[in-house]
Structure 1
Amino acid sequence: MTTPQPTTTAPRPHIGSDTDTPGNLAAYLADLVERRGWAGRAAFHQGHQFWTHGDVHELGARAAGVLAGHGVRAGDRVLLALPDGMAWVAAFLGVARLGAVAVLVNPELPAAEHAFMAEDTEAVLCVTGPGLEDRFADRARLGADQFLALAPAAEPAAAHPVNAHTPLYVQYTSGTTGRPKGVVHTHGDPKAYHDLIGRRLLGITEEDVTLSVSKLYFAYGFGNAFVFPLFSGSSAVLVDRRPNPAAVDELVARHRVTLLYSVPSAYAALVADRGSGHAACFASVRAAVSAGEGLPDGLGGQVADLLGAPVLEQIGSTEAGHAFCANSLDHNHDGTVGRPVPGFEVELRDRAGRPVPDGDEGELWVRGPTVTPGYLNRPEETERTLVGGWLATHDRARREPDGAFRHLGRTDDMEMVGGITVSPLEVEAVLRTHPAVREVAVAAVTDGRGFSRLRAFVVPVGQAGPDGRFSADGRFSADGRFSADGLEVDLVALARERLAAFKVPRSVSFVTSLPRTATGKLRRHLVRQGAW
């Protein structure tokens, strides 16, 4: 089966000369290990085991032999529904080595989404983790344990010749606004992620140890915990499930983690669990990176105090492959997502596509070496999102005098109330200043008469009752527990004090959690429904 090239309107720019870019990614990385003498260095840690860079590429070559024995050929698509671990790493390298295309999916998705992705990509083989034995019944399937058991005895497969522009993997968008779309990336993209971000902005060396809360099957985690270690000779700690704050403490201390990558909601949980002030278990951390959503005001400083290290905020997308704007160790502008990553161009445009001056709000358009050539099987979506090589990110931002961009939310975040457009982020920022509020989302919800009213959905700092619900008129008692009466009144009064009248929520609902994607992004389309 061949992989059709997505439709796009302009050729992708690339970095460097042809000699700078890899052909087959798996072969390039294996050769890099030999040239740099990294074969004996640790590459991945999981539990109390570790694998060296030499182990990883030997396993990858034999994994390719297993996949070839199951009928995988160049251009075929292989769906990987695996948790973080060596099966994921070996399967990806094996697919790359054969010149096939890896389809990276979250193993915890519902069955219907897995079925859609398998059908959408026409996957010839599905490599799956535990608990997914009943999935993909209409397709060839290989379990992770069986796959790893077969690999040591398999004959290593030769690397299939490809170029830097040959499709390597497909990742699906997070689905914050509806059905996810398959985004195509190529064999040359991972090297660009490392060269432009890992090496130039984060200064990653052989001595670094990475822990990424974001998983390998997401764009953010793929760069952090797979690409950067393999291109730098460093190592990463793999965890098959999202670690809670106690697990993060333990993993950082045990492995002497130097680079921590996470999302705002997970950083908030870390602070809530630990409180203020530096914690000794984070003594090895030299930098932390935050992406996925904007850091709420004040949280970055709290995290920096806790870790004793700078927190570098950045923004990227599945379509860009990794970050396209990022703060760095040399330039960290608090409250912004940083300046354009080297090699990327970023413009702010109005709704008509005209550039806006510095200081004005606009929509972010991005052009750069790793922007996708297009969506799989979605030529109309590709044409709408990629215009002349520029990616419409649908993010709103303002450019600061130093060239950094201040993220102002998504274009689809805006709420319409009484004919007036309201940014929920502004309202949320005010409500979040109340000490009783842990998380908050604001949306225009239709009432029983069909009118659109602003409602705040609040996760309080206190605890829910035995039934898992919060009282609608909640307040906090002296011991910090959530009990009856008053908090809604307090929050509405706070909003009235600081905001224009049309931005004040008409009601407050107390919830135990907010609807988020697996990457931690808020699903605003579900918040607007008023229930999830």
Structure 2
Amino acid sequence: MNFRGIGVPYNAAKLFIDDNVDKGRGNKVAIYYKDRQIRYKELQEMVNKTGNGLKQLHVEMENRVLLLCHDSPEFIVSFYGALKIGAVPIPVNTMMHSDDYEYFLNNSRAKVLIAHIDLWNTISHLKDRFIYLQYVVLIDENGFASKDEGTLDYREWMSSDSVDLHAALTVSDDQAFWLFSSGSTGNPKGVIHLHHDMEFAVNSYAKKVLRMTEEDVTFSASKLFFAYGLGNGMYFPLGCGASTVLMPERPLPEKVFETIETYRPTIFFGVPTLYGTMIDFAERCGRNYDLSSLRICVSAGEALPGPILKKWRQLFDVDILDGIGSTEALHIFISNNIGDIKEGSSGKVVPGYEAKIVNEHGVAVSANEIGDLFIKGDSVAHGYWNLHEENKKKFYGEWFHTGDKYLMDESGYFWYCGRSDDMLKVGGIWVSPIEIENSLLKHHAVLEAAVVGVTIENNLVHPKAYIVVKQGITPSDGLKKELQEFVKQDLAAYKYPRMIEFVDELPKTATGKIQRFKLRKSLSSVPASV
């Protein structure tokens, strides 16, 4: 057979799954999940069965496969099974409104959906609107009970296929997977990552910053469908021959503490809001939780307040490494380091990446001068799916414009100064103010709405809505609660405005654009409790 023109074969599933077995780790535990222990050899067989199952559904190279899955072995198996046959898995947020999944499926043109049955049940009423979807494979850990005709039982679907599968002849620059990232317009953007991106992130951050080895056990409270969680809980441990702990439930403090004490991970990944609520929970219940297995903790998603870092260290005698990453860069590219933590800063550039801060003319600024942060590294995405203009705005050759305002001090530490646009980060998740505003405008009482981020206690951010009501409507506390519940029903619950203020008019430009920066400037005091 003549392979000229194909290039050097490279398949990420072979690297992260098969190579571990080839290196003698077949009997080592790869995944801890509830009462299950899945070893690398079993994981390989499950991946191969899934890949063969997808081929039986006529999935070919470059076809998209949407994953709507809780953190579970099935998530990982489906992800790498698709990769191994050259298909493109697309994990999506499990906390979205049902209409959002119509967008994900139609925008990606996915022909197969693999989903947990409880999540499918929330969107199955829309199935006639999924233009390209041909097959639905449902995961039901309690025994298959779908009433939807044509859906497939994941276990039965997997059981009939071979445990042998040759990796597709992909190359390192082939499309591997997409991750959806929300944009300032409120429409999610399909971020295209290549087969080599995960290996680069492992070698740069996991091995050089976290010093991860096969002896480590990781646990990420941030879910696998996030770029941050995907590394923490999946390809970092697999890329190092280590083990991962998966928790499908919401990361509530009591459940997170219980998981750490049960599985004894060595590295824990969270976000600032979670660390804050865990500290508060531990102090309120008066229990001394045993986190002695942890050698290091990691935080990302938003800037980690210094008081949280200090209190966590005081309570549990373990450091938190704060850093910044993005969906487009796949994982963290600026980070504090073990033994080199500068409280309040994002740390220094991760080995393998380059960063620069520039002014509005693209010229590098001096130390301690605020500018736009650009990042360069081989895990940066290929680009956005079908967004030509947005690609031109964000990708400048090798450089990616993060949209963050930063300064770098004389010692090379980077300090976060805010967003270049109006995007908010709530609980480590990007939230578009326009999306919340559009939801509020659907309510019969709302004439105009503007949403900004309010920094509360410990520098955490909550959405605040300024609302102009329609004539004849009387503003009241009851209406505030009604509007909050309305948004919760219309969007993912975490997006609702925690604060609402009724105003007579909104500040606007001469052309009618809302000037959110004026609203932010008007914020003089915010209650500590909202």
TM-score, normalisation: structure 2: 0.76
Q: How many angstroms apart in 2 are the aligned matches of 1:187 and 1:439?
A: 35
Quote the residue 2:457 is aligned against. 432
Quote the residue 1:221 is aligned against. 229
Q: How many angstroms apart in 1 are the aligned matches of 2:402 and 2:408?
A: 15
Q: Is this contact kept in 2: 1:81–1:127, CA < 8 A? A: yes
Q: How many angstroms apart in 1 are the aligned matches of 2:115 and 2:21?
A: 31
Matched, 1:237 2:245: yes
Quote the residue 1:42 is aligned against. 29
Aligned-pair CA distance for 1:388: 2.1
Of 381, 390, 395, the residue aligned with 1:386 is: 395
Deviations 1:459-487 (A, max 9, x none): xxxxxx9xx99xxxxxxxxxxxxxxxxxx
Quote the residue 1:299 is aligned against. 308
- CA shift in 2, pair 1:279/1:175, >3 Å: farther
| Letter matched to residue 93 of structure 2 | N
Q: How many angstroms apart in 2 are the aligned matches of 1:218 and 1:86?
A: 16
Of 491, 505, 520, the residue aligned with 2:523 is: 505
Quote the residue 1:260 is aligned against. 268
Matched, 1:126 2:113: yes
Of 41, 54, 59, the residue aligned with 1:67 is: 54
Deviations 1:92-122 (A, max 9, x none): 1110011000111112321211111111111
Quote the residue 1:94 is aligned against. 81
Of 332, 335, 343, the residue aligned with 2:344 is: 335
Q: Is this contact kept in 2: 1:263–1:292, CA < 8 A? A: yes
Of 265, 278, 286, the residue aligned with 1:270 is: 278
Quote the residue 2:476 is aligned against. none
- CA shift in 2, pair 1:120/1:389, >3 Å: same
Of 335, 355, 358, the residue aligned with 1:326 is: 335
- CA shift in 2, pair 1:229/1:176, >3 Å: farther
| Letter matched to residue 152 of structure 1 | S
Q: Is this contact kept in 2: 1:278–1:305, CA < 8 A? A: no
- CA shift in 2, pair 1:34/1:506, >3 Å: closer
Quote the residue 1:370 is aligned against. 379
Aligned-pair CA distance for 1:280: 4.3
Quote the residue 1:194 is aligned against. 202
Quote the residue 1:3 is aligned against. none
Deviations 1:285-336 (A, max 9, x none): 1111000011123111112223311110010000001111111214222111
- CA shift in 2, pair 1:440/1:73, >3 Å: closer
Aligned-pair CA distance for 1:31: 3.5
Greater relative contact order (Cα < 8 A, sep 6+): 1
Quote the residue 1:479 is aligned against. none
Alignment of 1:446-465 (within 5 A): none
Q: How many angstroms apart in 2 are the aligned matches of 1:337 and 1:294?
A: 7
Matched, 1:109 2:109: no
Q: How many angstroms apart in 1 are the aligned matches of 2:275 and 2:178?
A: 28
Deviations 1:332-375 (A, max 9, x none): 22111111111111010112221110111111011111111110
Q: Is this contact kept in 2: 1:278–1:308, CA < 8 A? A: no
- CA shift in 2, pair 1:87/1:290, >3 Å: same
Query: Percent of counterpart pairs with the same letter?
Result: 29
Aligned-pair CA distance for 1:444: 8.4
Of 42, 50, 68, the residue aligned with 1:81 is: 68
- CA shift in 2, pair 1:177/1:242, >3 Å: farther
Deviations 1:160-194 (A, max 9, x none): 11111100100001456611100000111111111
Q: What is the DSSP-based 3-state SS (H/G/I as helix, E as strand, rest coil) of the residue aligned with 1:298?
A: helix
Q: Is this contact kept in 1: 2:267–2:297, CA < 8 A? A: yes
Q: Is this contact kept in 2: 1:56–1:90, CA < 8 A? A: yes
| Letter matched to residue 373 of structure 1 | H
Q: How many angstroms apart in 2 are the aligned matches of 1:395 and 1:209?
A: 32
> How many pairs were matched up?
432
Matched, 1:154 2:154: no
| Letter matched to residue 29 of structure 2 | A
Q: How many angstroms apart in 1 are the aligned matches of 2:270 and 2:175?
A: 28
- CA shift in 2, pair 1:58/1:442, >3 Å: closer
Q: How many angstroms apart in 1 are the aligned matches of 2:156 and 2:315?
A: 42
Structure 1 stretches of 5 or more lacking a match?
A: 1-17, 416-423, 450-464, 470-501, 513-532
Aligned-pair CA distance for 1:445: 3.7
Deviations 1:370-426 (A, max 9, x none): 1111101111111111012211111011102221201111112499xxxxxxxx98x
Q: How many angstroms apart in 1 are the aligned matches of 2:99 and 2:529?
A: 27
| Letter matched to residue 199 of structure 1 | K
- CA shift in 2, pair 1:200/1:278, >3 Å: farther
- CA shift in 2, pair 1:328/1:169, >3 Å: same
Of 168, 179, 187, the residue aligned with 2:176 is: 168
Of 346, 351, 354, the residue aligned with 1:345 is: 354
RMSD (CA atoms)? 3.0
Aligned-pair CA distance for 1:503: 5.2
Q: How many angstroms apart in 1 are the aligned matches of 2:355 and 2:460?
A: 31
Q: Is this contact kept in 2: 1:59–1:152, CA < 8 A? A: no
Aligned-pair CA distance for 1:443: 5.8
Matched, 1:58 2:45: yes
Q: How many angstroms apart in 1 are the aligned matches of 2:187 and 2:91?
A: 16
Quote the residue 2:492 is aligned against. none
Q: How many angstroms apart in 1 are the aligned matches of 2:305 and 2:371?
A: 21
